[in-house]
Each structure stands twice: as structure tokens, then as C-alpha cells.
Amino acid sequence: MIPVQGFEGQKVAVLGLGRSGLATAAALRAGGAEPLCWDDSPESRARAEEAGFACHDLTRADAFEGVAALITSPGIPHLYPAPNKIIARAMAEGIPVDNDIGLFFRSWATADWDAFDTMPRTICVTGSNGKSTTTALIHHILQETGRPTQMAGNIGRGVLDIEPAEDGEVVVLELSSYQTDLARALTPDIAVFTNLSPDHLDRHAGMGGYFAAKRRLFAEGGPDRAVIGVDEPEGIYLANQLATAREDDRVIRVSSTRKLGDYGWSVFARKGFLSEWRKGRQVASIDLRAVTGLPGAHNHQNACAAYAAVRALGLAPREIEAAFHSFSGLPHRSQTIAEIGGVRWVNDSKATNVDSAAKALDAFDNIRWIAGGLGKEGGVTALGQHLSKVRKAYFIGHSARDFALDLDGLDHEICETMEAAVAACAREAEAGDTVLLAPAAASFDQYPNFEKRGEHFTALVAALGG
């Protein structure tokens, strides 16, 4: 773990005792602080006490006497739609409020680094969509090219739960808006902004607050390099704010929709080809069409962002290209799980809304589409313009018949269960087809989460292969 610096001999309150909260308490203790833990859940408090931490009721009138800081878990609101009462009281009493991301950046560098030949680096990835895949892809490229690396944050391990830095190590962090919004220290070496679309708007009081939370990684952090997706107005604005001139190559612009050849440094994908341009000249190109772990334009944007981030570290295009081909993708995100008799089976159980399902439907040809679950407000009528490559749909779950009505005219079958849908696809699919699970719905009618839904689909497909 990363021992937290700056609180030796002091009491630090920890609010929220999930994965990140317990890791924070352990890291504070390792740094010589006295963590005072609290969670509204008796079960969470019991787990903390079993782990040897003292629970301290932060709702008491004297709760913050002698407390140096309050560290809160990302999921607890501190401002909108209404601040948590404990956080609001700490702020009113002048107690500094931070989160584990802020503690990480104040504690990551140590005196041991003086003996290193190459300083450790941090790459931080934020945005609305694709940040998990981009983070995992950067980490994979570094592993494949022999660089010491760890991955943490909103993906994998808590940031304080990773190991202290090695010589030349690169830590790759996925950061959500909840994490960037409150962190008191943000000092990435390379920061990546993938894109922006409406999400968590109640937590940030609208799109402006949501974008402002993402922007803090760049405005507060002052990265040496900024990789900015410019396919939305917010990305264009952010790149313009950070660059001192068109030729400023500290900002690497990224696009999956258009050519970007007139800037100091840009990386873009068109018609399945990634191109890198520097000072008005193309310097590298990669054919992404055969990279099975990164299908579709949305994944090509992820590939461009990851490519730009590791190029900023000095990696060569050819070694990046080789690593692309060994990337299998993240589970439940356009993940090819099998090819049986010329039929490709793809698990995109994470496609729980219309926007993400549309991206999946645009990414493949000759689709046999498994969709449905607990439908969301507004239905799926908007998917009508993304069905040109769907040969047949197989609807499951609570919303099966609603989907059929919304997409009237589409050849379909009401299967209701995943077992029935997979069996029907196995009977009817032909060589060259892609069976795509992209539900466009939540999983809670039949599964506890999208992961369990994807795992069930994967197990049923594996049984076909046996």
C-alpha cells in the first residue's frame, strides 16, 4: 500500500467503509495517522472493526474535536444534490475534506525516488465513456512492452492499495467525476479526456458542473501532456484552454470522426485506420480493422487516446501496434468470447442504455442481436436508425415485448430468457454472423448486475463450444 504522508500522529476521520474507505484507513495507519472510521451501515462498521479499525460516530456533537481532516468515499455527495450532513458539518467547522485520490497524490512521491534512474509517472484517464477500456489498454501496452506498471482508481484496486513505486514505473488511474471533483491534490504527468455525454447530472447540478469536475484534472493538475478527445464541444473548449498556440504539442488532440492534421500533435481514426500527425506531417499509421479487442468507432477513439498517452511516454508505434493485437478487451464491453463454426459471439452486457447499445450495433456486421431486460425511460425507439446490420433480434426479460413494439418491423423473436435466446441464435446463426449481447436495458429483472448477465451469456456460449 501507499502510506499516507502528512498526518503522522494526527486523527483523521474516514467516512464510508467500502473498498476505498478501508484501503484509505489502512494507508493512513501505515503513515502514522490514527484513522477514525464511520459508515451508516452497521455491517460495514463491523467489517472495519474486524479489520482492526476503531469506529468513531461522526454524527456526535463533538465528533470532530482534534480531527485534522475528513476523508470521504467518492459515492457520498458533498455538494449536490444535497451535501451529506457529516461532510457539511466538517466543512462548516473548517475541517479539510478530501478523498483517497487527493491522499494518493500527496503521498505517491517519496525520498526513495532520489535513487531512481527514471522517475515514476502517472497517467490519469477521465471522461464519460470509454475510460475503463482506455485505462486498461494503456496498462496492457505498458505490460506488453516490458514497462513496470500498476492500474488502479475507478477500475481494479483502490489507489492507496497499490504498491510503492519502482524505478521507472507508470501508474495508470481511471478517475470518475466523483473522484476528480473533491481531490485536493491532482498532479498527473499525463491526463486523458475521452469524451463527454450526460451522466451523473444530479450529482453535479447539470452538465456544466459535470464538465467542471472532469476539467479539474487538467486545470488543477497541470499535466505535462494532455490527451483530449475533441469530438464534442467540451473537448474542443478544453484543448483550446490548455494550448498556447495551434502548434503547442503539449496538447494531443484525438478524434474518431475527422482528420486532425493541422495541430502540433494529433491522433485520429478514420475508416478503421489510426493516424498520428505531428507538425503537419503524418508520422505513423495503424490498421485497427483487424484488432479484434477494439471493434467499432467508439473503441477506435479509445485506441487513439491510449496510443497518444503511451507515445507521450516515448513508446514506438510498432510496439504499440503489436500490443493492440494482444488486447482482448474488458469483460462485458464488446468482448469477443468465442468463434464457433464461423459465428462470432460478443458479450457487451455493459451496454445498458440506448447510447451504448447503438455503438455496439454500429460496430459489427450480420448481427443476431440479444437485447432486453429492465427497460429504461424513453424506450428504445431511438435505436431504429442503428438496425441496418441486424438480421434478427432475440428479446429477453421484462421489456421483451416493449422492445418489439418500439422496433416494429424488425425481424424478432420473444425469447424471454437468456437460455432460449442463445439456443435460438445457435440454431439460426450462419458463418459470418455475429451474435451480439447488447441489452440496451438494466439487468435487475433477472440478474443482480450486468456482470452476472454477461457471465451467464458467456457460460451458455462456452457450453455450445463443448
- CATH (one of 3.30.565.10, 3.40.50.720, 3.30.1490.20, 3.40.50.620) for 11-98: 3.40.50.720
Specify the pLDDT at position 136: 96
pLDDT on residue 407: 97
The predicted pLDDT at position 285 comes to 97
Which architecture characterizes domain 109-325 according to CATH? 3-Layer(aba) Sandwich (3.40)
Question: Residue ranges per domain, the chain?
Answer: 11-98, 109-325, 335-465
- Specify the amino acid at residue 314: G
Nearest Cα neighbor of 441 from 410, 413, 403 is 403
Question: In the predicted model, what is the mean pLDDT of residues 121-133?
Answer: 94
Longest dimension (CA), the chain: 70
Q: pLDDT tens digits, residue range 345-397?
A: 999 999 998 988 999 999 999 999 999 999 988 899 999 999 999 999 999 99
Query: Could you tell me the three cell numbers for 241?
Result: 484552454
Residue 6: what pLDDT?
96
Pairing of strands 281-287, 273-278: antiparallel
Which CATH topology does 335-465 take? Protein-Tyrosine Phosphatase; Chain A (3.90.190)
Q: Compute the average pLDDT of residues 336-340.
A: 93
> Among positive and negative, which fits the CA dihedral 36, 28, 91, 126?
negative
16: left (phi over 0), alpha (psi -120 to 50) or beta: left
At residue 416, what is the residue type? Answer: E
Q: What is the pLDDT of residue 229?
A: 97
For the chain, the C-alpha Rg in angstroms (whole number) is 24
- Res 156 pLDDT > 80: no
Yes or no: say if 387 and 411 are a contact pair by the CB < 8 Å rule: no
Confidence of residue 466 (pLDDT cuts 50, 70, 90): low
Whether pLDDT at 316 is above 90 = yes
The per-residue pLDDT for range 413-452, each reduced to its tens digit, is: 999 999 999 999 999 999 999 999 999 999 999 999 999 9
Reported as a single tens digit per residue, the pLDDT across 92-102 is: 999 999 999 99
Cα–Cα separations (whole angstroms), residue 428 to 341, 392, 458: 12, 10, 18
| Residue range 201-223: mean pLDDT, rounded | 93
Q: What whole-number distance in Å separates Cα of residue 81 and Cα of residue 206? A: 10
Residue 199 is predicted with a pLDDT of 77
**pLDDT of amino acid 201:** 86
Q: Can you read off the three cell numbers belonging to residue 221? A: 493538475
Neighbours of 80 (CB within 10 A): 15
How much of the chain, in percent, has pLDDT values that exceed 90?
90
**What value does the mean pLDDT take over residues 448-460?**
96
Mean residue pLDDT across the chain:
95
pLDDT band, very low/low/confident/very high, at 329 (cuts 50, 70, 90): confident
- Average the pLDDT over 107-131 and give the result: 95
pLDDT at 198 over 80: no
Per-residue pLDDT at 330: 87
Per-residue pLDDT, averaged over 256-261, amounts to 90
pLDDT score at 225: 97
